[in-house]
Amino acid sequence: MTNVKQEYINKTYRTLINSGVQRKRFETVNYGLNTPIDAKKLKDVPRGKVILSQEVFEQLLTVNDESEKARAEFSYILTGITEGQTVKFDNIVWARNQGNSAEADFTPLLGNLNSYIRAVQQIGEQNAIVCNGHTHPKKLSRFAEDFSLADMAGFMQMKEDNAVFKNGNIELCSGIMSDLNFNFCFYDDKMQDFYKFNDVVLELETGEQIPLSCYDRKVSRTDIANKIYKPEKSFRDNLRQGVPTLTHQSQISIQAQRRLALQRELGITSENNDRTY
Ligand SMILES: [Zn+2]
């Protein structure tokens, strides 16, 4: 993250040091602005949960894989709504890294962000939330899953310096996507502290929720693919329970196709899927 004011870097540093848990990181791996913040040690958003729509998940999968291939950070914005401490993201825009530096550049997405803010204000949506995110390719750092000091200071600045986020007209959180870990973090300017969302799930069109990796929780691609791929009931089961209508059958078949497509995107096909049913 570029162009972070010194005051926010100092304030973020003090916030993290004051909470005590990050002191060790600054003592052992102090890379200045790039010091990795031990994200697993951030406090949890109480009962916090992030739900990704199928569309958002699929796009993030592409962002993750392409960024890894390019060995460069890509930027993305997610938009959605909050319900209590649950955040549901159903929209995404993202940008490849076009610059010479491997560092994420948020500028190509500013136009999208501004038009989203205008739209929210016009329709008077009260529960809108934006996530400002970027990738950390795992090839670039052994601390790829962590936010850097500059990342966190940048998130603080984005909230403090923009009335729409500062006043809470639209909520703001931040994200790091690294090796299929979906790490989300929230800065509370009243409490002056950073919090993590310790539960992130993919919600399929059927409403089923599949846990994803975040912080300490690790879910492999195969685990996700196995949960996505569930063969529909057999002919025999259907006979016992009554034959579904044609409309229902075609819905089932569309869902099955979508699931298989999603599995392919994860790089796992039913042929090399060793789980049997
Ligand atoms: Zn970063």
Predicted pLDDT of residue 24: 86
Residue 148 C-alpha to ligand 1 middle, in angstroms? 6
Tokens of 241: 């329970």
Nearest to 137 by CA among 105, 93, 181, 107: 181
Beta strands 128-135 and 171-178 are parallel
Predicted pLDDT of residue 274: 47
d(CA 200, CA 198): 7
d(CA 157, CA 223): 37
Residue 182 C-alpha to ligand 1 middle, in angstroms? 13
Residue 137 C-alpha to ligand 1 middle, in angstroms? 10
Residue 74 C-alpha to ligand 1 middle, in angstroms? 10
Predicted pLDDT of residue 240: 66
Predicted pLDDT of residue 275: 46
d(CA 63, CA 124): 31
Residue 251 C-alpha to ligand 1 middle, in angstroms? 41
Backbone angles phi, psi at 190, to 5 degrees: -70, -50
Predicted pLDDT of residue 245: 74
d(CA 43, CA 198): 9
Residue 135 C-alpha to ligand 1 middle, in angstroms? 7
Nearest to 126 by CA among 175, 164, 163, 173: 164
Residue 1 C-alpha to ligand 1 middle, in angstroms? 6
Q: Where exactly does CATH 3.40.140.10 map onto the chain? A: 6-211
Nearest to 36 by CA among 16, 65, 57: 16
Binned average pLDDT, 10 residues per bin, the chain of 277 residues = 86 88 85 89 95 96 95 96 97 89 88 95 94 95 93 95 94 96 95 94 93 96 85 63 71 80 79 46
Which CATH code, of 3.10.20.30, 3.40.140.10, 3.40.50.300, 3.40.50.1000, is assigned to 6-211? 3.40.140.10
Residue 75 C-alpha to ligand 1 middle, in angstroms? 10
Predicted pLDDT of residue 165: 96
